Chain A
Amino acid sequence: MREGRLDVLVRDLTAAYLFYRERCGSETDFFRLPVIGKSTIAEQPSWFMHPDPPARLWESYTSGSTGVPFRCVKSESEKQTLSFAILSHRRGWGLPLRHTSLLLSNRFLDEPHMMAHYADCILRGRPQMIQGRSSALAALAAYMADNGLAVPESLRFVQNWGEPLQPAHKAAVERAFGVPFYDYYGMEEIWPIAFSDAEGHLVVDERMVFLEVLNPETDRPVPEGEFGELVVTSFVMRSMPFVRYRTGDIGSVRRDPATGKLILSLLPVRSTQIRLPGRQAQPAIFRYLDKYFYELSLHSGVRQFQIVQESYTAFRLKIAAPSGELDTAALAARLQNFLKQYLALEVNVGVESVPFIAPDPVSGKYHPFVSFIP
């Protein structure tokens, strides 16, 4: 069935859109279509518009990690299909049709006075659902717990979006709010890609998307379970197609043999953040980073962490944790060993204890890995 849908998609693309007619007019193999990104569409946006668009299109903008606005469009029908998909998952999480939800601002952590404001919104509004970035929700949970503020019984769940879900954040939020903290992964361009299931796995919604994991050096698929760049194809979007579209995110997928679900694991690193001399990052470094992040997550004392690449061989590990609870030297040594295995040369890893790690000043997102190399 999945191959049939891809075949139909190829026929529609090469018939309708100038980009695909010009670049691959006679192509019938989905896997030979070009892998594209924001810049491909931004350079020639008219080549990606449907020749017979509906009368009304809804516009939105996303900047991703670049800060450059990118125009997204959706038809009423596309919006409805995508909204229904999101709703169907939330109903599975326990959300009633009649509900109140609270959405935390992207810049919430920049404005400390907003903490009291959102706590008040929760107490007065009695929402069934709260959604926001993992780091913001964890900060709000800590604020409410520290101030002895009881969460209303109306709350059914909390939902993450826009950041990889840190295990420490999930534990803190669930402890403070007393409800499940579900994960959601999507993009403004196509909305939903994956949702938490009851077991806490992030499961790809294959009604909506086809997800590939590619080696960023070769654009070839990596073996199942290996990390690589996530490339997504929307089955819904036709007003502007997103086919083999780079997400910039790093992850791995595996098919659960018992349930058939396609389970996604995200690495809290974007492909644009890793800088290596003269080459793209290979899947091997993602494997090592995944192991390291997993080990960090086992330390319940770590509130936040950030790996800063200061040069090709110099890294700094910033940790926000109660003083005296962590052997930071050992954590730094493990990171040094992990990176040395991949880079095959000596790297220096310094450690910095900080009270708080600020989010990105442009996107408002919290980045576990950043690079200062241009």
Chain B
Amino acid sequence: MYETELFEMECEVAMIVAKICRKNPEQIVPGEVLADLGIDSIRYLELMAELEERFGFEFEVEDMRPEWFHSVRTLSRFLRRRIGL
């Protein structure tokens, strides 16, 4: 069940990342480093704004840790914990 729910979250996050990077969602590999996908300091802001709007929360100071923004997979795990899934 957990793996299924994590996969669903990864798909949603991948779609958001794809939108920001102007790629097809199929091109987004969950374990790939976001920086290698072209997510720079400006796009991180866009990514965070999209995630806040999609999942209905606001990033706190303690949420802004690089290890959670490493890849779609790590970001998905963070989001599941953060929004209480």
Chain A contacts to B: CB under 8 angstroms: 76-77, 79-81, 83-85, 87-88, 91-92, 96-99
**Which residue in chain B gives the minimum CB-CB distance to A85?**
B64
B1-9, B21-29, B42-50 - the one binding chain A = B42-50
**Which residue in chain B gives the minimum CB-CB distance to A76?**
B35
Specify which of B35, B41, B48, B66 is in contact with A97 (CB 8 Å cutoff).
Answer: B48
Top 7 A-B pairs, shortest CB-CB distance: A84-B64, A97-B49, A80-B66, A88-B61, A98-B49, A76-B35, A97-B45
Tally B residues with Cβ within 8 Å of A: 14
Docked complex: B37-63 residues within 8 A CB-CB of A: 41, 44-46, 48-49, 52, 59, 61
Q: A76-B35, A87-B45 are in contact. Are A97 and B52 (CB under 8 A)?
A: yes
Q: In the complex, A79→B52 CA distance in Å?
A: 22
Q: Are B66 and A81 in contact (CB under 8 A)?
A: yes
| Residues on the A chain within 8 Å of B69, using CB | 80
Chain B contacts to A: CB under 8 angstroms: 35, 41, 44-46, 48-49, 52, 59, 61, 64-66, 69
Q: In the complex, A154→B48 CA distance in Å?
A: 21
Q: Total A-B residue pairs with C-beta atoms closer than 8 Å?
A: 33
Q: How far is the CB of B52 from chain A (nearest CB, A)?
A: 7
Q: In the complex, A85→B62 CA distance in Å?
A: 10
Q: How far is the CB of A200 from chain B (nearest CB, A)?
A: 20
Q: How far is the CB of B14 from chain A (nearest CB, A)?
A: 20
Q: In the complex, A76→B44 CA distance in Å?
A: 13
Q: Are A87 and B64 in contact (CB under 8 A)?
A: yes
| Residues on the A chain within 8 Å of B59, using CB | 91, 97
**Which residue in chain A gives the minimum CB-CB distance to B66?**
A80
Between-chain CB contacts (< 8 Å), 8 pairs: A76-B35, A80-B44, A80-B66, A88-B61, A91-B59, A97-B45, A98-B45, A98-B49
**Which residue in chain A gives the minimum CB-CB distance to B51?**
A97
Q: A76-B35, A79-B41 are in contact. Are A84 and B65 (CB under 8 A)?
A: yes
Known: A80-B69, A97-B59. 5 other contacts (CB 8 A): A80-B41, A80-B66, A88-B64, A91-B59, A97-B48
Q: Are B66 and A77 in contact (CB under 8 A)?
A: yes
Q: A76-B35, A97-B49, A97-B52 are in contact. Are A83 and B61 (CB under 8 A)?
A: no
Q: Are B41 and A83 in contact (CB under 8 A)?
A: yes
| Residues on the B chain within 8 Å of A84, using CB | 64-66
> Most chain-B Cβ atoms within 10 A of its Cβ — which of A76, A87, A97?
A97
| Residues on the A chain within 8 Å of B49, using CB | 96-98
| Residues on the A chain within 8 Å of B64, using CB | 84-85, 87-88
| Residues on the A chain within 8 Å of B45, using CB | 87, 97-99
Q: How far is the CB of B9 from chain A (nearest CB, A)?
A: 20
Q: In the complex, A77→B59 CA distance in Å?
A: 19
Q: Are B35 and A98 in contact (CB under 8 A)?
A: no
Q: How far is the CB of B19 from chain A (nearest CB, A)?
A: 14
| Residues on the B chain within 8 Å of A76, using CB | 35
Q: In the complex, A98→B46 CA distance in Å?
A: 7
**Which residue in chain A gives the minimum CB-CB distance to B64?**
A84
Q: In the complex, A96→B45 CA distance in Å?
A: 9
Q: In the complex, A344→B21 CA distance in Å?
A: 66
**Which residue in chain A gives the minimum CB-CB distance to B47?**
A97
